[in-house]
């Protein structure tokens, strides 16, 4: 069987990328065979997380206020869009901020629609008690795709999690392991809620950047999703607690 | 939690005046210059971070302050908290022109990683990424075996190759591949030592660390992987985790043909096959990259072991989740390996076939089925595997059972969309499974609408178009039925996914009622049935669910999907299919599930698409004469927006003519004339009442115009229509009409009646204007001033205006 494949030039045409599958398809091309289809493109160079963000989720009926990004971290930088306009550093930064805000708004509306659809009572913004653990496995969550050019140059996937009035989201390269990303996002949310005591009244996420950064540096270094089993997670948590005492 | 306090803090940070920021910066500078940097400095830096990050516009910070941030970041003695903050502030400001940071002198791995995070955020205008990559590699190379761990540097490498694939040299790539082999395959099987705090009571019992265990608690049977566990870990075990986490990206980067930038595989093989390659044997041999092949071999073993380990019953919930993620990753890596070196295919196939069988019986691992299916899509043909059964299982069972999982739904649809070019012969199964795929859409419409807009053109063909259009129109009904199905099923009783506030016992009973069983089965079918069923009885039955948020959301998505459907179908539809679809539009226009605003939104799309179909195949007006007359005669669609009726009447006026279809007869025109005349009479004579909403003026004007058009083609009718038009004009002037329709609307009706009356005074001109020959749409008629059209139009408009001007009021 393999010999047959070889004889047909299999090796010579070793496909270089799954990205070929992403190429837009005309109906007439659909029937094309395996080799020619897989050969063309190449894989996305890296499969990592592009950005992490925390933002507000407003109550479904509340129209006042805006969706606020409370924290965001972009890992690396996309190259500037090729639109022929001059690119100052300032404009590039503005663009990055706008991209993150665009993601936050979409997550907020996705989360709201999901909440409405599942018929849950509108989220109570303030938890009753800070001692009550937040059931992250039941928190609203989802994923959606961002087409290339809107708002990022590359196509991306957003994985999000809504916990009370906070939205957590990972912006992923298009072909990341979604199960791992989901698990990582849940882990990050749990760590942030616990170590920043986000549910206790009066705590402020806005002035806790060192802790958020400390957690990200360990659990999502440079946007790398990690395969951490329970014991590794505990080990990293201990290391974090030692480095950033409360 | 985000509170009013936080909001005001955010505002303060945004609105801080330049003067104050300047002062604050110098305070930060002073704090950073102190020898013993305390909590005060950390607090100040946290505030500075907020000020910089809270606005999308750049903040001007004092240069001394920025310099000090960089110095602090690079200073070896600085506590981590402070470094994290400095890095975060510098990263938040990026890209920034005034950065002087360099990683050249940083040796500490953790610190270097932080500096790199700032530098990589600058973009890659001057090859910054490459220089970061090179420096990180120098540190990796120079590392002493007993020195600090390179663990923090590996993610930097992954990021660098992601941002700039050509940043590493070949020997560097080889070196890292060798290291990865060691980390992946030869990590210690003994647990690490606890870092004893040395307290008085923590008696170090001098116990030897035990062996690592599997996730189910058994002693590890083979080499260490990310699914091996213990109390404490050694450094090489930590590196094992890092190495596996970056493995797939690294394989893709370093795999044949020697990384991006090298010549294409095809070219290379030609080279190898020619005499030239014999001459340059040495260089070819050096490109064979044994370290890469060795890495692939070890990666293969690692994945095999993960697949075996993921079958164990994990003691902890977190580990059970990780098992699934590992399973997905293992299959993805195996896919890469087989693509890079087909000799793996044999060994992988048996393993993946067994895995597939195992996964089919384990609903908890259903998401790992997608990468397995992906594998068979990529390699099924080469490996001569009959993949049909795999897709059959995938498309038939999973959507019906698990449509309610948002993540699975997204992944499943993305899988279909991404692989369209690969399905080949199996595309038929995908196409036939559209009713099942639509379940994902019906339940999760907000994130999936755009995915289906992209997917629809590939799903629809001449054979399924009619059935798919019905299904799309019934999509909100499907949502409601799925809701009922979930309520009934015992399996999903873990938590309420549906709107628990709605009680629908009558509906639930109906689902079991034998009279409706057939209809429900049709609505919930897994594959295209080839037939269509009238679901109107179900509309009634499911009405209590029509107000559900999920049903409403789905209804909102339908118009967009219809647009996508029609733009795909009109690419290939022949006359027969076009006629069939037009007929379907007529039938379904008053047979829709009653969701608030659904009908009006759908009608807007259907009416415009009806015109598109007519334009595509004008003969359909003659072919469907009977049905159109019936539609008009029934008076359906007068009320509401009347958009469907308007389109139908307009299409009759436009295309019921010998010039479009020879089969069109005078009798036919007369028949339509009578039908429309009766309708116009009914519309205008009906007294306004509270129960019936008024008829929109567009319907009245388009009726008048169409009657005039028909009269211009069968000129015996001219006296009749003229009489009618003058009546209309009088009627529109009456205060009763004005009060019913409003002055503006009545005015529009009056003007149109006057214009048409004037045109009809010269029947030949009327015919020319109202039934232009097909050539008129050619550009020549509009560009060339000597052709008749512009001239005629000028004359007509002058005539029409003049006559209008002569009239009173």
Chain B residues in contact with A127 by the CB 8 A cut-off are 1
Buried b (16+ CB within 10 A) or exposed e, B422-440: bbbebbebbbbbbbbbbbb
Q: Do B50 and A209 touch (CB under 8 A)?
A: yes
User: Can you give the pLDDT at residue A131?
Assistant: 53
Element holding B214 (H helix, E strand)? strand B213-214
Q: Is the pLDDT of residue B808 over 60?
A: no
Alpha-carbon distance of A81 to B353, in angstroms, equals 44
Alpha-carbon distance of B479 to B557, in angstroms, equals 12
Would you tell me which residues 240-269 of chain B have a C-beta closer than 8 angstroms to some C-beta of chain A? 241-242, 244-246, 248-249, 252-253, 256-257, 260, 265-266, 269
Alpha-carbon distance of B469 to A244, in angstroms, equals 59
Report the pLDDT averaged over residues B145-150: 72
Q: Do A206 and B10 touch (CB under 8 A)?
A: yes
Q: Which of A117, A224, A222, A212 is nearest to A168 (CA)?
A: A212
Among the residue ranges B257-271, B404-418, B606-620, the one predicted with the least confidence is: B257-271
Nearest-by-CA chain A residue for B90: A73
pLDDT bin (cut points 50, 70, 90) of residue B647 is: very high
Measured torsion, CA atoms of residues B276, B277, B282, B284, in degrees rounded to the nearest 10: 140
Q: How far is A38 from chain B (nearest CA, A)?
A: 8
Chain B residues in contact with A81 by the CB 8 A cut-off are none
Burial class (CB in 10 A: 0-12, 13-18, 19+), B512: exposed
Q: Is the pLDDT of residue B454 over 50?
A: yes
Tell me the three state secondary structure of residue B213. strand
Report the pLDDT averaged over residues B774-799: 68
The CB-side HSE value for B561 (13 A sphere, CA atoms) comes to: 28
| Angle, in degrees to the nearest 10, between helices B290-309 and B235-254 | 120
User: Can you give the pLDDT at residue B92?
Assistant: 92
Q: Is the pLDDT of residue B317 over 70?
A: yes
Give per-residue pLDDT as tens, B357-380: 999 888 888 999 999 999 998 888
Encoding tokens for residue A236?
């990293």
Q: Is the pLDDT of residue B282 over 50?
A: no
Report the pLDDT averaged over residues A190-198: 88
Give me the residues paired with residue A173 across strands.
Answer: A156
Alpha-carbon distance of B737 to B685, in angstroms, equals 10
pLDDT bin (cut points 50, 70, 90) of residue B98 is: confident
User: Can you give the pLDDT at residue A215?
Assistant: 96
pLDDT, greater one: B448 or A5: B448
Angstrom CA distances, A225 to B329, B381, B769, stand at 12, 32, 69
Alpha-carbon distance of A69 to A108, in angstroms, equals 11
User: Which residues are CB-neighbours of B125 under 8 A, at least 6 positions away?
Assistant: none
User: Which residues are CB-neighbours of B675 under 8 A, at least 6 positions away?
Assistant: B629, B632, B633
- Mutating which of B4, B40, B66, B84 best tests the A interface, going by the most A Cβ atoms within 10 A? B84
Give the DSSP per-residue string, chain A: -HHHHHHTTTTTT----GGGGGS---GGGTT--HHHHHHSS---S---EEEEEEEE---TT--SS---EEEEEE-S-PPPP-SSS---HHHHHHHHHHHHHHHHHHHHHHHHHHHHHTTPPPPPSS-S-TTSPP-GGGS-EEEEEE-TTSSSSS-EEEEEEEETTEEEEEEEETT--HHHHHHHHHHHHHHHHHHTTTTSTT--GGG-HHHHHHHHHHHSGGG------HHHHHHHHHHHHHHS--
- Put the strands of the sheet holding A69-74 in their side by side order: A69-74, A49-56, A166-173, A156-163, A141-146
The predicted model scores a pTM of 0.86
Chain B residues in contact with A206 by the CB 8 A cut-off are 6, 9-10, 13, 50, 54
User: Can you give the pLDDT at residue B103?
Assistant: 83
* In contact, B658 and B652? CB cutoff 8 Å: no
Nearest-by-CA chain B residue for A34: B422
User: Can you give the pLDDT at residue B62?
Assistant: 87
Q: Is the pLDDT of residue B254 over 90?
A: no
pLDDT, greater one: B494 or B471: B471
User: Average per-residue pLDDT in chain A?
Assistant: 77
Among the residue ranges B18-22, B144-148, B483-487, the one predicted with the least confidence is: B144-148
User: Average per-residue pLDDT in chain B?
Assistant: 84
Q: Is the pLDDT of residue B353 over 60?
A: yes
Q: Which of B60, B339, B499 is nearest to A35 (CA)?
A: B339
Q: Is the pLDDT of residue A121 over 50?
A: yes
Q: Do B265 and A22 touch (CB under 8 A)?
A: no
User: Can you give the pLDDT at residue B619?
Assistant: 93
Percentage, residues of chain B above pLDDT 90: 48
User: Can you give the pLDDT at residue B261?
Assistant: 36
Q: Is the pLDDT of residue B800 over 80?
A: no
Query: Cα angle at A133 between A127 and A134, to 5 degrees?
Result: 65
Q: Is the pLDDT of residue A122 over 60?
A: no
Q: How far is B196 from chain A (nearest CA, A)?
A: 13
pLDDT bin (cut points 50, 70, 90) of residue B301 is: very high
Would you tell me which residues 431-460 of chain B have a C-beta closer than 8 angstroms to some C-beta of chain A? 444, 446-447, 450-451, 457-458
| Angle, in degrees to the nearest 10, between helices A89-117 and B549-572 | 110
Chain A residues in contact with B501 by the CB 8 A cut-off are 119
Give per-residue pLDDT as tens, A87-103: 688 888 999 999 999 99
pLDDT, greater one: B448 or B34: B448
Cα dihedral A213, A217, A220, A224 sign: positive
User: Can you give the pLDDT at residue B228?
Assistant: 94
User: Can you give the pLDDT at residue B809?
Assistant: 37
> Which of A14, A22, A226 minimises the CB distance to B339?
A14
Q: Is the pLDDT of residue A37 over 80?
A: no
Report the pLDDT averaged over residues A219-234: 96
pLDDT bin (cut points 50, 70, 90) of residue B188 is: confident
In degrees and rounded to multiples of 5, residue B462 shows phi and psi of -60, -35
Percentage, residues of chain B above pLDDT 70: 85
Q: Is the pLDDT of residue B73 over 60?
A: yes
Report the pLDDT averaged over residues A220-242: 94
User: Can you give the pLDDT at residue B314?
Assistant: 93
Would you tell me which residues 757-796 of chain B have a C-beta closer than 8 angstroms to some C-beta of chain A? none
Strand A69-74 relative to strand A49-56, pairing: antiparallel
pLDDT, greater one: B95 or A216: A216
Q: Is the pLDDT of residue B238 over 50?
A: yes
Q: Would you call B328 an interface residue with chain A, using a CB distance cutoff of 8 Å?
A: yes
> Which of B152, B269, B325 minimises the CB distance to A11?
B269
Chain A residues in contact with B553 by the CB 8 A cut-off are 113, 116-117
Q: Residue with structure tokens 């048996």?
A: B350
User: Can you give the pLDDT at residue B259?
Assistant: 37
Nearest-by-CA chain A residue for B483: A118
Q: How far is B760 from chain A (nearest CA, A)?
A: 49
CA A205 centroid distance within chain: 19
* In contact, B379 and B331? CB cutoff 8 Å: no
Give per-residue pLDDT as tens, A48-60: 899 999 999 887 6
DSSP B211: B
Give per-residue pLDDT as tens, B3-18: 677 888 889 999 999 9
Q: Is the pLDDT of residue A65 over 80?
A: no
Q: Do B241 and A33 touch (CB under 8 A)?
A: no
Q: Is the pLDDT of residue B210 over 50?
A: yes
In degrees and rounded to multiples of 5, residue A156 shows phi and psi of -135, 165
Report the pLDDT averaged over residues A202-222: 90
Encoding tokens for residue B492?
């999903």
Give the DSSP per-residue string, B76-115: TTS-HHHHHHHHHHHHHH-S-TT----STT---HHHHHHH
pLDDT bin (cut points 50, 70, 90) of residue B262 is: very low
Element holding B228 (H helix, E strand)? strand B228-229
Report the pLDDT averaged over residues B100-128: 86
User: Can you give the pLDDT at residue B729?
Assistant: 87
User: Can you give the pLDDT at residue A11?
Assistant: 34
Among the residue ranges B425-439, B476-490, B550-564, the one predicted with the least confidence is: B476-490
Q: Would you call B87 an interface residue with chain A, using a CB distance cutoff of 8 Å?
A: yes
Q: How many beta-carbon contacts under 8 Å exist across A and B?
A: 355
Alpha-carbon distance of B447 to B435, in angstroms, equals 18
Report the pLDDT averaged over residues B608-635: 92
Helices (H) and strands (E) in chain B, counts: 42, 2
User: Can you give the pLDDT at residue B198?
Assistant: 44
Q: Do B2 and A205 touch (CB under 8 A)?
A: yes
User: Can you give the pLDDT at residue B393?
Assistant: 87
Q: Which of B176, B322, B153 is nearest to A232 (CA)?
A: B322
Give per-residue pLDDT as tens, B563-595: 999 999 999 999 999 999 999 999 998 889 999
Nearest-by-CA chain B residue for A6: B342
User: Can you give the pLDDT at residue B518?
Assistant: 87
User: Can you give the pLDDT at residue B502?
Assistant: 60
Q: Do A165 and B1 touch (CB under 8 A)?
A: yes
Encoding tokens for residue B352?
């993946």
- Mutating which of A217, A240, A246 best tests the B interface, going by the most B Cβ atoms within 10 A? A217
Beta-carbon count within 10 A of B468 CB: 23
* In contact, B528 and B432? CB cutoff 8 Å: yes
Report the pLDDT averaged over residues B720-737: 84
Q: Is the pLDDT of residue B241 over 80?
A: yes
pLDDT, greater one: B341 or B209: B341
Chain B residues in contact with A90 by the CB 8 A cut-off are 57-58
Q: How far is A45 from chain B (nearest CA, A)?
A: 5
Chain A residues in contact with B494 by the CB 8 A cut-off are none
> Which of A79, A97, A227 minimises the CB distance to B245?
A227
* In contact, B486 and B498? CB cutoff 8 Å: yes
Alpha-carbon distance of B515 to B495, in angstroms, equals 30
Chain B residues in contact with A150 by the CB 8 A cut-off are none
Would you tell me which residues 504-563 of chain B have a C-beta closer than 8 angstroms to some C-beta of chain A? 548-550, 553
* In contact, B356 and B374? CB cutoff 8 Å: no
Give me the residues paired with residue A54 across strands.
Answer: A71, A168
Query: Cα angle at B326 between B321 and B331, to 5 degrees?
Result: 135
Of the spans A31-40, B190-199, B272-281, B342-351, which averages the highest pLDDT?
A: B342-351
Q: Is the pLDDT of residue B94 over 50?
A: yes
Q: Do B47 and A207 touch (CB under 8 A)?
A: yes
Report the pLDDT averaged over residues A112-137: 68
Q: Is the pLDDT of residue B264 over 50?
A: no
Give me the residues paired with residue A159 across strands.
Answer: A143, A170
User: Can you give the pLDDT at residue A164?
Assistant: 84
User: Which residues are CB-neighbours of B299 under 8 A, at least 6 positions away?
Assistant: B184, B247, B251, B333, B337
User: Can you give the pLDDT at residue B225?
Assistant: 96
Give per-residue pLDDT as tens, A158-171: 999 999 889 999 99
pLDDT, greater one: A12 or B637: B637
Give the DSSP per-residue string, B710-732: HHHHSGGGHHHHHHHHHHHHHHH
């Amino acid at each position: 069987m393999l010999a047959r494949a070889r004889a047909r030039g299999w090796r010579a045409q070793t496909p270089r990328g799954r990205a070929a599958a992403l190429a837009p398809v005309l109906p007439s091309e659909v029937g094309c065979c395996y080799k020619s289809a897989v050969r063309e493109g190449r894989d996305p160079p890296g499969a990592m997380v592009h950005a992490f963000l925390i933002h507000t989720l407003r109550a479904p009926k509340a129209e006042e206020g805006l969706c606020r990004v409370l924290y965001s971290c972009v890992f690396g930088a996309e190259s500037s869009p090729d639109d022929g306009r001059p690119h100052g550093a300032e404009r590039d930064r503005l663009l990055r901020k706008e991209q993150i805000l665009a993601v936050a708004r979409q997550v907020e509306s996705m989360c709201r629609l999901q909440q409405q659809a599942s018929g849950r009572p509108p989220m109570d913004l303030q938890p009753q008690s800070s001692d009550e653990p937040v059931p992250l496995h039941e928190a609203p969550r989802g994923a959606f795709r961002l087409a290339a050019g809107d708002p990022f140059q590359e196509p991306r996937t957003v994985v999000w999690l809504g916990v009370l009035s906070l939205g957590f989201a990972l912006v992923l390269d298009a072909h990341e392991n979604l199960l791992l990303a989901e698990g990582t996002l849940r882990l990050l949310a749990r760590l942030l809620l616990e170590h920043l005591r986000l549910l206790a009244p009066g705590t402020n996420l806005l002035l806790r950047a060192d802790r958020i950064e400390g957690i990200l540096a360990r659990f999502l270094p440079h946007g790398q999703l990690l395969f951490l089993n329970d014991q590794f997670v505990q080990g990293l948590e201990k290391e974090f607690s030692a480095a950033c005492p409360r | 939690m985000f509170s009013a306090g936080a909001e005001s803090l955010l505002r303060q940070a945004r609105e801080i005046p330049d003067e104050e920021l300047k002062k604050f910066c110098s305070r930060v500078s002073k704090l950073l210059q102190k020898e013993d940097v305390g909590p005060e400095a950390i607090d100040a830096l946290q505030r500075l971070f907020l000020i910089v990050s809270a606005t999308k516009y750049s903040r001007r910070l004092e240069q001394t302050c920025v310099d000090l941030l960089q110095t602090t970041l690079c200073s070896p003695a600085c506590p981590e908290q402070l470094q994290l903050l400095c890095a975060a502030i510098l990263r938040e400001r990026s890209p920034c022109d005034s950065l002087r940071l360099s990683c050249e002198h940083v040796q500490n791995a953790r610190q270097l990683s932080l500096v790199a995070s700032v530098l990589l955020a600058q973009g890659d205008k001057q090859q910054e990424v490459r220089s970061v990559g090179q420096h990180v590699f120098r540190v990796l190379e120079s590392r002493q075996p007993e020195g600090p761990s390179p663990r923090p540097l590996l993610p930097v490498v992954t990021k660098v190759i992601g941002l700039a694939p050509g940043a590493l040299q070949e020997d560097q790539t080889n070196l890292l591949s060798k290291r990865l082999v060691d980390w992946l395959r030869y990590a210690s099987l003994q647990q690490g030592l606890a870092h004893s705090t040395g307290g008085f009571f923590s008696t170090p019992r001098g116990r030897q660390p035990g062996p690592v265990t599997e996730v189910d608690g058994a002693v590890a049977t083979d080499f260490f992987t990310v699914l091996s566990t213990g109390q404490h870990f050694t450094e090489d075990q930590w590196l094992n985790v890092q190495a596996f986490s970056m493995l797939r990206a690294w394989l893709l980067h370093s795999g044949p043909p020697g990384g991006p930038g090298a010549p294409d595989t095809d070219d290379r093989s030609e080279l190898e096959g020619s005499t030239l390659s014999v001459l340059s044997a040495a260089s070819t041999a050096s490109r064979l990259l044994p370290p890469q092949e060795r890495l692939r071999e070890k990666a293969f073993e690692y994945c095999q072991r993960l697949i075996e380990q993921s079958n164990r019953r994990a003691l902890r919930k977190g580990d059970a989740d990780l098992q699934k993620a590992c399973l997905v990753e293992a299959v993805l890596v195996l896919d890469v390996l087989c693509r890079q070196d087909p000799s793996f295919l044999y060994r992988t196939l048996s393993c993946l076939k067994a895995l597939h069988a195992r996964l089919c019986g384990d609903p908890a691992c259903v998401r790992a089925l997608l990468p397995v299916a992906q594998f068979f899509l990529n390699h099924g043909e080469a490996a001569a595997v009959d993949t049909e059964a795999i897709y059959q299982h995938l498309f038939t069972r999973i959507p019906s059972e698990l449509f309610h999982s948002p993540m699975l739904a997204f992944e499943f649809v993305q899988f279909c969309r991404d692989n369209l070019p690969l399905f080949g012969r199996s595309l038929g199964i995908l196409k036939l499974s559209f009713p099942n795929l639509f379940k994902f859409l019906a339940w999760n419409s907000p994130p999936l609408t755009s995915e289906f807009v992209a997917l629809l053109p590939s799903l629809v063909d001449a054979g399924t178009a009619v059935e798919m259009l019905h299904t799309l129109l019934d999509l909100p009904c499907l949502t409601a039925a799925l809701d009922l199905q979930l309520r009934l099923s015992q399996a999903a009783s873990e938590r309420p996914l549906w709107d628990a506030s709605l009680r629908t016992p009558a509906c639930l009973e109906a689902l079991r009622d034998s009279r409706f069983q057939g209809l429900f089965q049709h609505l919930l079918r897994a594959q295209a049935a080839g037939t269509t069923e009238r679901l109107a009885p179900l509309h009634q039955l499911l009405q209590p669910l029509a107000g559900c948020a999920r049903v409403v959301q789905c209804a909102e998505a339908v118009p967009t999907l219809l647009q996508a459907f029609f733009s795909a179908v009109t690419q290939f539809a022949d006359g027969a299919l076009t006629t069939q679809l037009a007929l379907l539009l007529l039938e379904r226009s008053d047979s829709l599930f009653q969701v608030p605003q659904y009908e009006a939104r759908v009608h807007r799309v259907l009416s415009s698409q009806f015109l598109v179909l007519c334009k595509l195949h004008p003969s359909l007006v003659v072919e469907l004469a009977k049905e159109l007359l019936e539609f008009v005669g029934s008076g359906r669609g007068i009320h509401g927006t009347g958009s469907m009726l308007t389109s139908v009447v307009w299409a009759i006026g436009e295309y019921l003519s010998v010039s479009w279809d020879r089969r069109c007869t005078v009798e036919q025109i007369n028949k339509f004339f009578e039908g429309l005349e009766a309708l116009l009479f009914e519309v205008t004579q009906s007294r306004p009442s509270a129960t019936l909403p008024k008829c929109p003026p567009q319907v009245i004007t388009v009726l008048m115009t169409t009657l005039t058009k028909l009269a211009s083609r069968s000129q015996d009718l001219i006296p009749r229509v003229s009489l009618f038009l003058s009546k209309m004009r009088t009627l529109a002037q009456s205060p009763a009409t004005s009060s019913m329709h409003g002055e503006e609307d009545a005015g529009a009706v009056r003007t149109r009646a006057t214009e048409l009356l004037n045109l009809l005074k010269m029947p030949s001109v009327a015919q020319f204007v109202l039934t232009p020959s097909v050539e008129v749409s050619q550009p020549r008629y509009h560009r060339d001033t000597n052709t008749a059209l512009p001239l005629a139009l000028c004359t007509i408009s002058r005539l029409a205006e003049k006559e209008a001007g002569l009239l009173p009021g």
